[in-house]
Chain A
Amino acid sequence: MSEKLEEFDNRIIFAKTLIALANENPKIVVVCNDSVGSSNLGEFRDLFPDRLIDVGIAEQNMVGVAAGLSNAGFTPFVCAAAPFLTGRALEQIKADVVYTRTNVKLCGMSPGVSYGELGPTHHSIEDIAWMRALDSLPIVLPADEAQTKEAVTWAANTTGPVFMRIGRFKVPSVSQGQSPAFVPNKAMRIIEGNDITIIATGTLVSRAVAAAHQLKGEGISARVINLSTVSPLDTAEILLAAKETKAIITAEESVTRGGVGGAIAEFVVQNHPVAMKLLGTDTFAPTGSVSYLLEHYGLTADSIVASARELLKHGK
């Protein structure tokens, strides 16, 4: 694809959607950690000053307070940079939110390597693996504006905890008018194909789409699945990919160990083994911009294409 698509920062639609939901539902509150700016919550605070609870720089308290607000009948959206939310408050997420089954929506802002040059302390590449380890916690990774809007709305109307990633790295629309753009618990097949399947999440979905277009030019038919829900895993769709195509590539902005690649591999190896290549951000990053880092990790359309060629060569 040569033309440049318009790109969007999902935090903008996230905040707009939350405001619309809060207008309808007085029980929706936001809990954050001095993150009004980075979570794009300024307008929410102006409209609902009492319903934005900023605990300051204190993530354990942030998640505990949210659990308490849920106990008091509210639907708290915890909005914080993903590395600090999931890393610092992991035990609060485990015990107070997931094990207690509170109605807390954990919104990990700016996940993956989206903080670029700020470095590995600020990258959130372990969050998927950590959250996946928790019993029955839905993990949602909307890939574009349309999915973000629908996923946030779904989370607000669902009882129980949810973890979602809201990206800051601008991405083009991958849903392309598909309606609904997000279906809970379902993997979204966005391109049909029968030689190989590319399963991508978040920022990587548009790159997987670009890779599929390149592969088509080479006579390789690539299926693309936008795995916007990582947990629970849509095993029916993954099984079809394993049965109907010869190999599977996974692409994610997180560690593949326990991450999306790990999730798919765990299922595939036990049910219908096929050749796989897991692409992700498996090491602490060197200094560099987001674009540079995605290239460094081989998370580009070209790298996905190269992996596809390699897998199909060996898979024959």
Chain B
Amino acid sequence: MEMNTREIANLAREIRIQILHTIKGAGMGHIGGDFSVTDILATLFGAVLKVDPKEPNKADRDRLILSKGHAAVALYSTLALRGFFPVEDLKTFAKPLSNLNGHPNRNKVPGIESNTGPLGHGFPIAVGTAIGAQLAKSSSRSFVIMGDGELQEGSNWEAAMFAGHRKLTNLIAVVDRNGFQQGSPTSKTNELDPLDKKFEAFGWEVCVVDGHNYDALLKAFTDPQTKPRVIIAQTTKGKGVDFMEGKAEWHHKVPSDEQYEQALEQVGKQ
């Protein structure tokens, strides 16, 4: 059942609440990037992806590869809330022998497509799943979500060039363009702009959208394609909690007890 935008917003709120509980409970996690990608995940899992939690390895499912694997908690929370595994399991995150490692593992967690973590890996894999769907004459679509800093890895541009060459109309790449990498803004580290022109030059259609606007995201995910499409999702790192938004230090900071309560209160109203 595809969700409407109100339902997607509700899912996003619940995802953010689970992210807060999970990171606070484990004392670790990448909260800033989790919050910037939350609305993208909520839209995909709420209304776009053809996936079945009861049959997570169905041959013709859509593929979502979270290349920014450090946002594992956002993906775990989304999968749990969508029924891939019990929400209760989120409490085990990062605990000894938990299936929920700091980065996702396909062989331990239903709904995960590849073991990501090192950056620049998801994009080529999604190109492979998209080519595979064409060969299999399947309607399956492939989606990959990357961080923006991650695009400094050269492997992404190998994948972008090849997808453009093969005109993969069943492939969508999403750039979670929150403007930050681990320690500082991407613009101060290794400038990515003009990102749209780079992708256009590689043979892609480009949609630049507000990465927290469900209508805009839905349209970008569902409009017909004539080429591979990149969605440059303009996002805010730490989105949803005012003292985290746009602050590099929240890349992997854990909230104090007081901050946790404040954050829960803010997110709960959304």
Contact = CB atoms under 8 A, between A and B. Distances in A.
A binds B: yes
Interface of A: 29, 50-51, 53, 55-56, 58, 60-74, 91-92, 95-96, 99-101
A92 B124 contact: yes
Given A67-B114, A96-B115, A73 B132 contact: yes
Contact of B135 (A29, A67, A95, A101): A29
Contacts of B161: 56, 58
20 contacts: A29-B135, A53-B131, A60-B120, A62-B124, A64-B128, A64-B155, A65-B125, A65-B159, A65-B162, A68-B124, A69-B129, A69-B135, A71-B114, A72-B63, A72-B129, A74-B135, A95-B121, A99-B115, A100-B107, A101-B107
B255 interface: no
Interface residues of B, number: 34
A60 B158 contact: yes
Contact of B158 (A58, A74, A91): A58
A70 B114 CA distance: 11
Given A56-B162, A58-B161, A73-B59, A64 B121 contact: yes
User: Most chain-A Cβ atoms within 10 A of its Cβ — which of B114, B136, B142?
Assistant: B114
Contact of A65 (B59, B117, B124, B136): B124
B154 A64 contact: no
Contacts of B244: none
B164 to A, nearest CB: 12
Contacts of A29: 135
A68 B120 CA distance: 14
B263 interface: no
Contacts of B118: 91, 95
Given A55-B162, A58-B158, A99-B115, A71 B124 contact: no
Given A95-B117, A96-B125, A101-B107, A61 B132 contact: no
Given A61-B127, A62-B124, A68-B130, 17 more contacts: A50-B135, A51-B135, A60-B120, A61-B124, A64-B123, A65-B131, A66-B128, A67-B114, A68-B63, A68-B131, A69-B131, A69-B132, A72-B136, A74-B136, A91-B118, A96-B114, A101-B107
Nearest to B162: A55
Contacts of B95: none
B74 interface: no
Contacts of A58: 158, 161-162
User: Most chain-B Cβ atoms within 10 A of its Cβ — which of A55, A68, A72?
Assistant: A68
Contact of A68 (B115, B125, B138): B125
B132 A74 contact: yes
User: Most chain-A Cβ atoms within 10 A of its Cβ — which of B59, B116, B159?
Assistant: B159
Contacts of A60: 120, 124, 154-155, 158
B9 interface: no
Interface string B158-180: 11011000000000000000000
B135 A63 contact: no
Given A51-B135, A61-B124, A100-B107, A95 B159 contact: no
B80 interface: no
Contacts of B123: 64
Nearest to A58: B158
Contact of B128 (A56, A68, A91, A99): A68
B219 interface: no
B34 interface: no
Given A61-B158, A100-B107, A72 B132 contact: yes
Contacts of A73: 59, 132, 136
User: Most chain-B Cβ atoms within 10 A of its Cβ — which of A51, A61, A69, A70?
Assistant: A61
Contact of B63 (A53, A65, A71): A71
A66 B116 CA distance: 15
Contact of B127 (A51, A64, A100): A64
A67 B131 CA distance: 11
B116 A69 contact: no
User: Most chain-B Cβ atoms within 10 A of its Cβ — which of A63, A69, A92?
Assistant: A69
Nearest to A94: B118
A29 B130 CA distance: 14
A67 B162 contact: no
Nearest to B117: A95
Given A55-B162, A99-B115, A68 B107 contact: no
Given A64-B128, A71-B125, A100 B114 contact: yes
Nearest to A88: B155
A74 B130 CA distance: 12
A131 B140 CA distance: 33
Interface in B52-74: 59, 63
